[in-house]
Amino acid sequence: MYEFFFVLIPEYMPFLLQGALVTVQISVLSMICAISLGLLVALGRLSNLRVLRAVLAAYVEIWRNVPLIVQLLVIYFSLPQLGISLPGFWAGVLGLSLNVGAYLSEVFRAAILSVEGGQKDAGLSIGMSRVMIYRRVILPQALRIAVPTIGGYFIALLKDSALVSYIAVNELLRHGTIVISNTFKSMEIYLMVAMVYFIISFISARIVAHVERSLTPAYLRVAQAQA
Amino acid sequence: MSNALSPLPISASPKRKPEEGMDPMSSNKSARLSIVSEKPQQSVAPNPAEPLLTVRGLQKRFGSHEVIKNIDLEVSPGSVTFLIGPSGGGKSTVLRCMNFLETPSAGEITFAGERLCHTEKGRLHRASDAVLRRARAQMPMVFQHFNLFAHRTALENVIEGPILVLGRPREQAVADGRELLRRVGLLERADAYPAQLSGGQKQRVAIARAVAMEPRLILFDEPTSALDPELVAGVLDTIRSLADENRTMVVVSHEMAFARRLADRVHFVADGVIAESGSPDEIFDAPKNERLKQFIRSILH
């Protein structure tokens, strides 16, 4: 106990926190890419272009049905064979973005479809174009509907990013294993890694909840108050 | 028979005569005229005999299901046309084909001198999206389920079209929009969101949103069918005050007393065709078609 708190933590925590910084960076970057990708894929799947719809549907199905760790390994070890050599960090960002993007596209699609229908007809019936209707009517509502789910996916991504330690990204878990290979204190170090993940994740969840509240627009607050 | 057909308070008085006090829109005539007079009502059709909207040989299939078999109708400027008939007979689909919310399977539709679609050698040719959008902006629709933009206040719902589609300056759109809300009796609710409005209030906002387009024709798709009974009268009053302004309207409705009082022409739509057309008196007092007789008997119960 004494050793854990007064020797191991002061000695190795700074190194673990360096890894934690990379965990946060890779998660935030991947999330930004995944949101953009997911929204574009959702819009593409709702378009009139049949080929595009089929290609995007295939992407979503494939990425949702292969384990994330396998996707990361394929990207990290296969792309160099095609002459594309990505450093571990960027391979990780690519892998996580493609994976979460596939899930988020379904979130966006559902949110958009929940607004479509009547309000789209109403927009059309006063002469608005499809682009206008999406920009002014559907997306402002759909994006807000999607916010809580996106927040949930971000928390999940923070934790799933531990998998990129397998492709040599020096993030939190990998820094932990490096320390363990030097000290053989696996129980204590893994415990420290777990504590750091918990703290990052817990704080992020609070931030997400706050963002969610501040993004809830007046029209939804009245609807909720009356429900 | 006419009494039996008129269970609503809008029954006995002669057609198209505004009733003072009952009508939220007639309370301030000068203000109403100020908006109306800006509208090119007279120039709607250069030749008043020429129909504003013509539908010829309209057909609509959903898969193998033929909802509209063959429909011809004309809407002359300043007239009120009612489509009545049994549910599933195709009335709403006719309406939705007029503004291309549904693309017809075949037929020809001409609106304000512009051909929106025609059929040649069995193929439907539709006008460009730009032409269709322009036509839609001049014949907005009022829906059964209101379809207000949920994230916009009542006023924002009304000014969206004028600003975005008609390119009106915002201040003018707001001023006109507030005046329209006042006329439908909802000025004090201008900043309320749809979720805060009753069904009847929502529908009156939706009507204001349609009128704000300064349309040549307004389409009503069962505007009172989704309302609680006590809210129906307010919406009907609003629609009637539009008829009092000689606006051109096509109304799909189950409110027979209302149709009788307001309509210039009634079309009975059943099984995808217009089974009988005529003046309200002809349709309700002297129906010839068997289905129509049966329909009128059934609604008298």
| pLDDT tens digits, B220-261 | 999 999 999 899 999 999 999 999 999 999 999 999 999 999
Quick check: B148 and A122 CB within 8 A? Answer: yes
Confidence of residue A227 (pLDDT cuts 50, 70, 90): low
| Mutation for B interface: A115, A116, A124, A125, most B CBs within 10 A | A125
CB B109 within 8 A of CB B115: yes
Give me the pLDDT at residue B15, please.
Answer: 46
Above pLDDT 70, what percent of chain A? 97
d(CA B1, nearest CA chain A) in Å = 38
From chain B, pick out residues whose CB is under 8 angstroms from the CB of A222.
193, 195-196
> B residues 250-289 near A, CB within 8 Å?
none
Within 10 angstroms of residue A162's Cβ, the number of other Cβ atoms is 17
pLDDT at residue A6 is higher than 60:
yes
With a cut of 90, say whether residue B138 has pLDDT above it: yes
The Cα B137–Cα B99 span in angstroms is 9
Q: B157-216 pLDDT, tens per residue?
A: 999 999 999 999 999 999 999 999 999 999 999 999 999 999 999 999 999 999 999 999
Is the pLDDT reported for residue B94 higher than 80?
yes
Chain A residues whose CB is inside 8 A of the B193 CB are: 218-219, 222-223
pLDDT for residue A218: 72
Nearest residue to A209 via CA among A160, A156, A150: A150
CATH number at residue A182: 1.10.3720.10
- Average pLDDT estimate for A142-170: 92
How far is residue B148 from each of residues A87, A118, B206, measured CA to CA in Å? 51, 8, 6
* Beta carbons of A45 and A101 less than 8 angstroms apart: no
B152 touches chain A (CB under 8 A): yes
The answer to whether position A194 is within a domain reads yes
Alpha carbon distances (Å) from B232 to A134, A165, B172, B222: 32, 65, 31, 11
Per-residue HEC secondary structure of A59-111 comes to HHHHHHCCCHHHHHHHHHHHHHHHCCCCCHHHHHHHHHHHHHHHHHHHHHHHH
- Assigned domain for A12 exists: no
The answer to the question of residue A71 being in a domain is yes
* Assigned domain for A11 exists: no
As beta bridge partners, residue B267 has B83, B277
Is A141 contained in some domain? Answer: yes
pLDDT above 60 for B40? no
Among the partner residues A125, A128, A140, nearest to B164 by beta-carbon distance: A128
Instruction: Select the residue from A126, A133, A222 to test the B interface by mutation, using most B Cβ atoms within 10 A.
Output: A126
A124 contact residues in B (CB cutoff 8 A): 99, 101, 136
Over residues B179-190, the pLDDT tens digits come to: 999 999 999 999
A126/B134 CB distance under 8 A: no
Which chain A positions have a beta carbon within 8 Å of B149's beta carbon?
A: 119, 122-123, 137
Any domain includes A203? yes
The answer to whether B160 and B140 are in contact (CB under 8 A) is: no
Domain ranges of chain B: 151-214
Residue A89 structural domain = 18-226
Averaged pLDDT of chain A: 91
Per-residue pLDDT, A223:
64
When divided into structural domains, chain A yields a total of 1
The per-residue pLDDT for range A12-43, each reduced to its tens digit, is: 999 999 999 999 999 999 999 999 999 999 99
Q: For A97-145, write each residue's pLDDT tens digit.
A: 999 999 999 999 999 998 877 999 999 999 999 999 999 999 999 998 8
The reported pLDDT for the residue numbered A9 is 85
Bigger pLDDT: A3 vs B47: A3
Q: Cα separation of B101 and B91, whole Å?
A: 14
